[in-house]
C-alpha cells in the first residue's frame, strides 16, 4: 500500500478535501461574543481522570464526595486503519484509538476540562461536540484542531445523564467522521447517585459501555470489501454507500465479535450491572436475551424516572441510554440490537457471561427434548 503521508501528499489531500466538501476546514474558532459571566471555578479541586478503553469505565464514585470539581482529561485523536470484521478494513477516525471513544464520567455541577490533541501525523481537522454541554455547537465551534494542534475546552456539567460526544468538523465531514468511528459517550451522574422509580438510591456493582457503530464499507464489482490508504481516499466511495443509509457492518465496540467469546462482558448472579449504550448516528433497539432492563433511562436523562422491567429499549441515533439489571440466572446472555438481522448478520451483538447457581424456581427444563409421545 502507498503511504500518502510519507509521500508528503497530505497538503494536496487537504486541499482537495475542501474542494470536495465545499465547507471551510480552516479550523477557525467560533466567535463567542461578549462574555457576560466568567467561569465560577475559583477554589475548585482539580482531578485528573484516567480514561480507559471501552467497555470499561474510568474509576469513579457513584455518589459524589464533597463539592464540584474540575475533572481534567486528555484525549488524542487517532486516525488509523481498523479491522471491523475479519478481513474488512476501514480508515477509522477515533478518539484515543478506540471505537467508541472512552467513556468520561463526572457529576452534575462538575466542570469537564478536556485537552484534545490532533497529532501532526493525522491528515484531517477534527473537533468535539459534547451533547452534555451547552453552547458553541456543543463545544464543536471552539475545538477545531488541525494536525499538530491541541485545544483545551472546559464546560460545566449541568444535565444529569448519559450523552454522546462526537467529531463534527463541518458539512459532509460531520457524518463522515461520525461513521468513521469518531464518537463516544460521557456520563454525568447526579451528585446523590442514581435513583429508582420510587426515588430510592440505586447502585451498580459494575458498569459497561457499549458503543454501537454503523459502517459503510465500499465493495468492488465482485463484492469484495475495498481497502484504502487514508480517510480522504476512502471518502468518495464511502459517501456513496452512506447515501444508501444501509450499513454494511454494525459493531459493538469496533469489531464484529469485540464483546463475545473471551472478550464477553462478565457478571455474577445477584450482581447489578449498568449497561450504557450509545449510537451516534442511527437508531438501535437494545435487548438482553434472557434478561431485562430492570431500570431503564430511555433517552439517557437521569433526572427522569426510569422505566421498569423493559424487554427492549430504543436508542435513537445521536443519544445514549442506560439500563440497570440484576442478573438472576447464570449462563451466557446475548446483548443485541433486536433488529436480529442487524445483530446476527451485520454484527450488532455482544455476550455477557454470568457465573452462579441456577434457580429452578425461575426456570427449569422439565423434560429434555425427545421423541414425541
Closest approach of Cu ion to the CB of residue 175, in Å: 11
Regarding 167 and contact with Cu ion (CB under 5 A), the answer is yes
Does residue 129 carry a catalytic annotation?
yes
Minimum CB separation of residue 79 from Cu ion in Å reads: 8
Q: Which is nearer to Cu ion, 137 or 307 (CB)?
A: 137
Per annotation, catalytic residue among 82, 167, 173, 187: 167
**Residue 107 a catalytic site member:** no
Q: Judge whether 265 counts as a catalytic residue.
A: no
Q: Cβ closer to Cu ion: 127 or 248?
A: 127
Asked if residue 156 binds Cu ion (CB under 5 A), the reply is: no
Question: Measured between alpha carbons, how far is 296 from 355 in angstroms, rounded to an integer?
Answer: 23
DSSP collapsed to 3 states, the chain: CCCCCCCCCHHHHHHHHHHHHCCCCCCCCCCCCCCCCCCCCCCCEEEECCCCCCCCCCCCCCCCCCCCEEEEEEEEEEEEEEEEECCEEEEEEEECCECCCCCEEEECCCEEEEEEEECCCCCCCECCEECCCCCHHHHHHHCCECCCEEEEEEEECCCCEEEEEECCCCCCHHHHHHCCCCEEEEEEECCCCEECCCCCEECCCEEEEEEEEEECCCECCCCCECCCCCHHHHHHHHHHHHCCCCCCEEEECCCCCCCCHHHCEEEECCCEEEEEEEECCCCEEEEEECCCEEEEEHHHECCCCCEEEECEEEECCCEEEEEEEECCCCEEEEEEECCHHHHHHHCCEEEEEEECCCCCCCCCCCCCCCCCC
Which of the residues 182, 187, 235, 242 is marked catalytic? 182
Is 177 among the residues known to form the active site? yes
Q: At closest approach, how far in Å is the CB of 214 from Cu ion?
A: 16
Q: In this complex, which beta carbon is closest to Cu ion, that of residue 107 or of residue 177?
A: 177
Of the candidates 311, 345, 355, 363, the residue annotated as catalytic is 311
Q: Is 60 a catalytic residue?
A: no
The residues that bridge with 153 in the sheet, in sequence order, are: 114
Residue 126 lies near Cu ion (rule: CB under 5 A): yes
Q: Could you give the string, one character per residue 174-213, with x where binding to Cu ion holds by CB under 5 A and - elsewhere?
A: ---x----x-------------------------------
Give catalytic status of residue 48 as yes or no.
no
Is 277 considered catalytic here? Answer: no
Q: How far is the CB of 142 from Cu ion (least distance, A)?
A: 15
Sign of CA dihedral 166, 172, 175, 180: negative
Residue with cell 462478565: 266
| Window 67 to 106, contacts with Cu ion (CB under 5 A) | 93
Query: Which CB sits closer to Cu ion, 168 or 323?
Result: 168
Residue 287 touching Cu ion (CB under 5 A)? no
* Residue 166 in the binding site for Cu ion (CB under 5 A): no
282 binds Cu ion (CB under 5 A): no
**CB-nearer residue toward Cu ion: 232 or 343:** 232
Q: Which of 131, 249, 277, 292 is catalytic?
A: 131
Asked if 131 is part of the footprint of Cu ion (rule: CB under 5 A), the reply reads no
Only one of the segments 79-87, 163-171, 254-262, 335-343 lies at the binding site for Cu ion (rule: CB under 5 A); that segment is 163-171
Closer Cβ to Cu ion, 182 or 202, answer by number: 182
Residues belonging to the active site: 126, 129, 131, 166-167, 177, 182, 287, 311-312, 338
* Binding stretches for Cu ion (CB under 5 A): 93, 126, 167, 177, 182
Amino acid at each position: 500500500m502507498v503511504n500518502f503521508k510519507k509521500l508528503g501528499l497530505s497538503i494536496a489531500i487537504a486541499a482537495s478535501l475542501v474542494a470536495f466538501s465545499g465547507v471551510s476546514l480552516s479550523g477557525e474558532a467560533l466567535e463567542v461574543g461578549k462574555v457576560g459571566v466568567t467561569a465560577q471555578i475559583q477554589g475548585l479541586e482539580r482531578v485528573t481522570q484516567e480514561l480507559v478503553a471501552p467497555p470499561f469505565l474510568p474509576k469513579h464514585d457513584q455518589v459524589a464526595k464533597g463539592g464540584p470539581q474540575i475533572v481534567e482529561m486528555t484525549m488524542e485523536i487517532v486516525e488509523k486503519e481498523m479491522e471491523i470484521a475479519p478481513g474488512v478494513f476501514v480508515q477509522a477516525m477515533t478518539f484515543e484509538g478506540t471505537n467508541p471513544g472512552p467513556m468520561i464520567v463526572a457529576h452534575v455541577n462538575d466542570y469537564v476540562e478536556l485537552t484534545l490533541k490532533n497529532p501532526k501525523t493525522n491528515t484531517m481537522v477534527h473537533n468535539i461536540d459534547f451533547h452534555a454541554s451547552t453552547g458553541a455547537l456543543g463545544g464543536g465551534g471552539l475545538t477545531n484542531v488541525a494536525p499538530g494542534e491541541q485545544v483545551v475546552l472546559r464546560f460545566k456539567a449541568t444535565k444529569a445523564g448519559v450523552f454522546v460526544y462526537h467529531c463534527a468538523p463541518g458539512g459532509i465531514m460531520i457524518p463522515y467522521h461520525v461513521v468513521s468511528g469518531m464518537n463516544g459517550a460521557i456520563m454525568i451522574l447526579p451528585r446523590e447517585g442514581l435513583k429508582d422509580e420510587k426515588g430510592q438510591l440505586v447502585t451498580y456493582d459494575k458498569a459497561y459501555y457499549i458503543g454501537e457503530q454503523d459502517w459503510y464499507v465500499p465493495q468492488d464489482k465482485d463484492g469484495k470489501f475495498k481497502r484504502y490508504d487514508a480517510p480522504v481516499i476512502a471518502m468518495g466511495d464511502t459517501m456513496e454507500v452512506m447515501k444508501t443509509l444501509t450499513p454494511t457492518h454494525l459493531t459493538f465496540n469496533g469489531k464484529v465479535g469485540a464483546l463475545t467469546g473471551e472478550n464477553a462482558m462478565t457478571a455474577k448472579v445477584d450482581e447489578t450491572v449498568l449497561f450504557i449504550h450509545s449510537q451516534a448516528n442511527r437508531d438501535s433497539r437494545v435487548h438482553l436475551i434472557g434478561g431485562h432492563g430492570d431500570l431503564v433511562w430511555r433517552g439517557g436523562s437521569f433526572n427522569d424516572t426510569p422505566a421498569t422491567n423493559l424487554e427492549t429499549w430504543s436508542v435513537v441515533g445521536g443519544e445514549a441510554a442506560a439500563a440497570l439489571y440484576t442478573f438472576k440466572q447464570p449462563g451466557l446472555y446475548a446483548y443485541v440490537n433486536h433488529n436480529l438481522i442487524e445483530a446476527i448478520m451485520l454484527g450488532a451483538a455482544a455476550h455477557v457471561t454470568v457465573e452462579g447457581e441456577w434457580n429452578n424456581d425461575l426456570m427449569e427444563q422439565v423434560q429434555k427434548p425427545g421423541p414425541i409421545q
